[in-house]
Structure 1
Amino acid sequence: MPYLSRKAKERIRKSEKKILTGVIISTVVGFVLTCIAVSTSYWIILKMRIPYYMNETNNYFISSHSGLWKYCLKSRNISRSKHSPKKPIQEVCYYHPMFPSKEEIAENPRTDETSLHYSRAEGAFAVITIFIMAISHIFSIYTFKEPRFMFKRLAGFLYFLAAANCFVTIEMVISSHLYEEKHLPVAYPKLAIMHYGYSFYFTCLALSIYILASITFLIYSHKRKEDKALSDEEAIENRPMKIRR
């Protein structure tokens, strides 16, 4: 880097601070989107073109939407008698049983051992993702107070780790859905039309935000020494330390 005047360094420092501030604000938005996605049950949405009768539940499947913690079913229980009145559509929501007994698993046609493992993994990775996102904000804000390059690298690494966990959560949801399609016809009826809900897309958007945030912080985390530093404080903090005995 060629020699820069103090005014030029100040302009670069202010520009860098504005960019990193914008990145932090965007990650806060991504954090809020992730919290909304994790707490809502609109990851997978199933709809039937015509009501589908299920012998296991003795009702007609209309539609369903599910998330990491809850599954909601819209159905209609229609009597086979021609003279009985048509019953209204009712929506019932169930929380995913995380640690049921073997008897409860056998009695529930919507779940089995494998789907339970998927549910537990999805919930665990979602909680870990939110935790890492919260920690990454603390370190990224601290970089404004502490100019040492290692804190920017740490913030960039935490952003990457949050994005990685977010990606695993998304893949778990997709894999769980594919498994239910093949092995759990009550949870995923034949001829059902599937599409992803806003909870899924919120998480995908948060994933993109955190990947870009990680790249940005890592780019600005290069070590500046002596006359290349943008401030006297940064030059002092980035001086090599000599350890003597």
Structure 2
Amino acid sequence: MNPHQPNYLPHQQQQPIFLAPQHDQQLLQHQLSHQQQLQEQQLQQLQQQLQQQQLQQLQQQQQFQLQQQQKQLQLLVNDSEQNNIQMPAHTHVTPSPLSKSHHRHSHHRHEPPHQPQQPRHLEEFHPQTHLELQMIQPEQQSSQQQQQQQLLQQQEHLQHHPHQSRSVRGKSPVVFKQQQIQEQQQQQQPQLHNYQHPQQNEQRNAYPDEQNEPPQQQLQHKNVEQHQQQHQLQQQQQSTQEQQQNLESDHDKVEVIVDASIEPEAIAGQHQLQQQQQQQHNKSIKQHAPTLTTESLPQNQQIVSPLLQPLLRKPTKKLRRDKAHELLRKRILVGTLVAMMVATILWLVAFSINYWASWEFPDGVMSANKNVIRGQHAGLWKMCREEVVPSTNEKLSSCIFMKQFPTSDELIRNQKLYDATVINYRRSCTAIGVIGVLVMVLSIISTYYSTIEPRYIYKRLAGSLLLGSAACILVCVEIIQGSLEYERKYLPHMYPPKSKHRFGFCFGVAWFLIICFLVFSLILFFFSRKQKDKLVDDRPVIIGRI
């Protein structure tokens, strides 16, 4: 992976997050401010680069001017040397005939002397070069003066002694001496030609491939490129400002859809990941800030923060449809959770009251207190009777608590009330009813956790527990029906002649709860499809292994 680029996750690239309006506005403002800071840093860096390049250009121009001045100085030095070497006008030489012929031939062989130029002051060009040349010229001038004096002496000697004017080679000594002086001057002249100012060497090192061409054209090209880069940065800044204004003006018109599939913990995890990505992005910017330029960017390209790009994507029809389905799914799950809690409360109420079955006695039954029993209703814990006093026709209601574990004395005294088989039925129904309550509580917990963590395994667990709850209620209903059938067959005092029997309110509630729990389990199984693509890939998953 490239460390300069922010590290995006696949689920964020495939499905962008559309947050709430307030949070979205805060994120947009923060990201736009960060974007402006980046552009300001780039502008500052470009300004610094422009200043450095301008300084370099000035230095190069100065060096070029110094080169021209040094060339002119060299020409002046050569002219001055040639002027000093020429013979004075007041001297006259009388050569011999052989020397005249030799001088005639040598005139054809040698180039004509240079025309004297007007001397220029060396201080006009550069003071340093003038001082340095003054250190070299005194020795040359002293040697030239000595040579001129020797020539004058020889000329005077020749005038007095003309017979000594011929040399071994047939040349006059004056011409021979002049040739020697010219050779010495030619040996001394390369020293001046080889002399260069240190700034000239720097200029040659700066332009090794373009020594013959002046750098003005190159400087013009560089200036044009710098102006183009600055113009591109200004255009980018204007485009970002226009984008910010458009976002602020159209913020109220944008349709924001909350991602229903992302739960509170998932949202918190995504925020943490975004913060980590932003910190890494800021570190990379700080590390590579001096090398950041717009040369690598194409024209008319805007610098947009990576965290801002998913938020600027407009929702499509498919995305809206998916989000609507996810929102509906979550609402159904929450409604199912609330209905499960209500159903559990109803089961606790039905399990504790005594309206499972009721009996009516039209002719009446005499009790031990010599009262007439008109009817009775019973449950798992109590049995209540409605009695009438014969003398006063007063209606009375009395309830008897039926123990689950009666003593032996109570069994002997109340044989009609405590039958061994009926007691076993009641114990079984009570135990299964309590187990059903525990299973319902576990199913509620697993359903609530499935709304937080969108893993299919929790929904399937909750659906299985709901099936167990429905089975517990169904078993309780069957046990009560079996108990009533046993009493009708084997306990005639519970069912006297002409008596009417019917099931009570709790019996209907039990059957209703069975149907409700079955529907709840089907809903959870239906929404227990795998949704792995909507979860964070690097997030730890609890799989239940040790």
Q: TM-score band (shorter)?
A: 0.7 to 0.9
Q: Which of 144, 148, 153 pairs up with 2:451?
A: 144
Change (3 A) 1:63 1:16: same
Distance of 2:321 and 2:420 partners within structure 1? 63
Q: Which of 185, 188, 196 pairs up with 2:503?
A: 196
Asked if the contact 2:363/2:498 (under 8 Å) is kept, the reply is: no
Instruction: Report the alpha carbon displacement of residue 52 of structure 1 after superposing the two structures with TM.
Output: 2.6
Distance of 2:492 and 2:418 partners within structure 1? 10
Aligned alpha-carbon RMSD (Å): 2.5
Unaligned runs of 5+ in 2: 1-316
Change (3 A) 1:176 1:8: same
Instruction: Report the alpha carbon displacement of residue 149 of structure 1 after superposing the two structures with TM.
Output: 0.6
The one-letter amino acid paired with 1:99 is F
Change (3 A) 1:207 1:20: same
The one-letter amino acid paired with 1:124 is A
Distance of 1:88 and 1:58 partners within structure 2? 13
Change (3 A) 1:122 1:101: same
Distance of 1:236 and 1:149 partners within structure 2? 18
The one-letter amino acid paired with 2:470 is A
Instruction: Report the alpha carbon displacement of residue 95 of structure 1 after superposing the two structures with TM.
Output: 1.4
Distance of 1:113 and 1:161 partners within structure 2? 29
Asked if the contact 1:27/1:206 (under 8 Å) is kept, the reply is: no
Asked if the contact 1:136/1:159 (under 8 Å) is kept, the reply is: yes
Asked if the contact 1:30/1:205 (under 8 Å) is kept, the reply is: no
Equivalent runs, 1:51-62 vs 2, <5 Å: 51-53=364-366, 58-62=370-374
Whether 1:101 and 2:407 are equivalent positions in the alignment is yes
Distance of 1:217 and 1:19 partners within structure 2? 10
Whether 1:215 and 2:527 are equivalent positions in the alignment is no
Match of 1:49 in 2: 362
Distance of 2:341 and 2:356 partners within structure 1? 21
Deviations 1:8-55, CA, capped at 9 Å, x for gaps: 33222111111112222222221121111112111101112221335x
Query: Which one has the bigger helix percentage?
Result: 2
Match of 1:89 in 2: 395
Distance of 1:25 and 1:67 partners within structure 2? 28
Query: Which one has the bigger strand percentage?
Result: 1
The one-letter amino acid paired with 1:45 is S
The range that moved more, 124-133 or 97-106, is 97-106
Change (3 A) 1:8 1:97: same
Give identity over the alignment, percent: 27
Asked if the contact 2:354/2:378 (under 8 Å) is kept, the reply is: yes
The one-letter amino acid paired with 1:193 is K
The one-letter amino acid paired with 1:18 is R
Equivalent runs, 1:6-17 vs 2, <5 Å: 6-17=319-330
Match of 1:75 in 2: 387
Question: The residue matched to 1:144 in structure 2 has which SS?
Answer: helix
Distance of 1:98 and 1:104 partners within structure 2? 12
The one-letter amino acid paired with 2:535 is D
Question: The residue matched to 1:194 in structure 2 has which SS?
Answer: strand
Instruction: Report the alpha carbon displacement of residue 183 of structure 1 after superposing the two structures with TM.
Output: 1.6
The range that moved more, 185-194 or 170-179, is 185-194
TM-score (norm 1): 0.83
Distance of 1:125 and 1:237 partners within structure 2? 41
Match of 2:352 in 1: 39
The one-letter amino acid paired with 1:106 is I
Instruction: Report the alpha carbon displacement of residue 200 of structure 1 after superposing the two structures with TM.
Output: 1.5
Distance of 2:364 and 2:406 partners within structure 1? 30
Question: The residue matched to 1:143 in structure 2 has which SS?
Answer: helix
Deviations 1:66-114, CA, capped at 9 Å, x for gaps: 1111111122354xxxxxx235232111111211123322321123110
The one-letter amino acid paired with 2:410 is E
Whether 1:21 and 2:334 are equivalent positions in the alignment is yes
TM-score (norm 2): 0.39
Asked if the contact 1:96/1:119 (under 8 Å) is kept, the reply is: no
Change (3 A) 1:150 1:103: same
Deviations 1:154-177, CA, capped at 9 Å, x for gaps: 100111111100111111111111
Distance of 2:377 and 2:454 partners within structure 1? 47
Match of 1:128 in 2: 435
The one-letter amino acid paired with 1:89 is K
Change (3 A) 1:143 1:237: farther
Distance of 1:194 and 1:105 partners within structure 2? 26
Question: The residue matched to 1:74 in structure 2 has which SS?
Answer: strand
Asked if the contact 1:139/1:151 (under 8 Å) is kept, the reply is: yes
Distance of 1:237 and 1:24 partners within structure 2? 26
The range that moved more, 116-125 or 7-16, is 7-16
Question: Which protein, 1 or 2, shows the higher relative CO under an 8 Å CA cutoff with sep ≥ 6?
Answer: 1
Asked if the contact 2:454/2:531 (under 8 Å) is kept, the reply is: no
